[in-house]
Amino acid sequence: MITLGKALNHGLRRALEDDPKVVIMGEDVGKLGGVFRITDGLQKDFGENRVIDTPLAEAGIIGTAVGLAIRGYRPVCEIQFDGFVFPAYNQIVAQVAKMHYRSQGKVRLPIVIRIPFGGGIGAVEHHSESPEAYFAHTPGLKVVSCSNPADAYSMIQQAIASDDPVIFFEPKRRYWEKGEVDLSSALPAATPLHSARIVRPGTAATLLAYGPMVRVALDAASAAAEDGRELEVIDLRSLSPIDYPVIFESVRRTGRAVVVHEAPGNVGLGAEIAARITEECFYSLEAPVLRVTGYDIPYPAARVEEEYLPDLDRVLDAVDRSFGW
C-alpha cells in the first residue's frame, strides 16, 4: 500500500530510468523534491541535468520545454499549483497545442504538464483551482486525471510515453490516500490512458466523476446501496478525449446519469458530457442528466471551501431528484 503521491514518484522514476531523454522541470522539483514531495529524491539519483530546478516563471518553463521537445527530449513540467498555470496559458494553447498541426505533422511535442488541482486542503488564494475545462476545450491537447495510486503510477508513465502533449491533473487532496500498486507491472497491461473505467457496477443510475470526485461518488454509491439503490460509478480518467462508448453503454442500462466535478458548472465538462449523453441516449433516459459541481463563483476562502465543494449529500440529492422526475 502506497500513497497516490508516492505512486507518482515511482512512475516518474521508472520513466527516467527507461528513457534518457525524459527530463523533469519545475519550481523546487529538485533539491526540495516538490512542494508535495512528488519528485523527492529524483534529482539526487538522476542529477541536476535530468531533474531541473527552474526560476519562478511558468511561461519560461513551458517555453523551454517546447524547445527541448523539438530537440528530441520528453520534458515533464510541474506547475506547482493549479492557479499558477495561467502565466503559461499562452505558451500551452498557442504553441504546445498547435505545433503538430502547424507543422503538418512534422513536429511532435511529447510534453507532459503536471498540475496539482482542486480544493480541500485549506490553501490560500490561487492554490485551489479546477482549470481543466480550459485545456479540454483546446484542440491538440490530451487531458487526463488520475484518482487512485494504481492509476497514478501507470498513467504518468503512459503520458510521458505519448507523442502528444498531455495535461496531467493530479488531485492534490488525494495525494496522501493509499492503495495497492503493482510496481512491477508493465505498461501494456495497464488500462489504456484515454479509457474510462467502471469502478463500481450498478443498475439504478450512473455517476460520472474524475480526479478528486471519484472518492465522493464512491462514498455516495455506498450510502445509496443502504437504501437499495445500486449506483454505477465511472471514473472518466481522460477528459480529452472522453471515452464516450463506456458512458453511453452504462447510461443505456441504468437510464439515469449524474455528472460530478469540482469546477464551476457553467460551460464545464459536465455540461458537454450531459449534452452528449442526451444526444446519444435520449430514448434510454428516464430523467434529465443532472450535474453536481462547484458554484459559479471564484474559489472561496479556505474556511468555507467545504460549503463550495460537492459532497456526498449533494450527490445523493441529485440522485433523488433524478428518481423523482
pLDDT band at residue 187, thresholds of 50, 70 and 90?
A: confident
How confident is the model over 52-70, as pLDDT tens digits? 999 999 999 999 999 999 9
Grid coordinates representing 2 are: 502506497
Q: Is the peptide bond before 20 cis (omega within 30 degrees of 0)?
A: no
- Per-domain boundaries in the chain: 2-189, 197-323
Catalytic site includes residue 137: no
Mean pLDDT, range 287-315, rounded to an integer: 96
According to CATH, the topology of domain 197-323 is Rossmann fold (3.40.50)
Q: Which CATH number fits domain 2-189: 3.40.190.10, 3.30.1330.10, 3.40.50.970, 3.30.499.10?
A: 3.40.50.970
**Prediction pTM value:** 0.96
For residues 15 and 158, is the Cβ–Cβ distance under 8 A? no
pLDDT band at residue 185, thresholds of 50, 70 and 90?
A: confident
Mean pLDDT, range 85-100, rounded to an integer: 97
Mean pLDDT, range 4-12, rounded to an integer: 98
Mean pLDDT, range 137-149, rounded to an integer: 98
Selecting among 10, 100, 126, 127, the annotated active-site residue is 127
Alpha helices in the chain (DSSP H): 4-18, 42-46, 58-70, 89-91, 99-102, 132-136, 149-161, 213-225, 244-254, 269-281, 305-308, 312-323
Q: Judge whether residue 262 has pLDDT over 90.
A: yes
pLDDT band at residue 26, thresholds of 50, 70 and 90?
A: very high
Q: Judge whether residue 9 has pLDDT over 80.
A: yes
Q: Judge whether residue 15 has pLDDT over 70.
A: yes
Return the half-sphere exposure (C-beta side, CA atoms, 13 A cut-off) of residue 192.
6
Q: Judge whether residue 188 has pLDDT over 70.
A: no
- Do domains 2-189 and 197-323 share one topology? The answer is yes
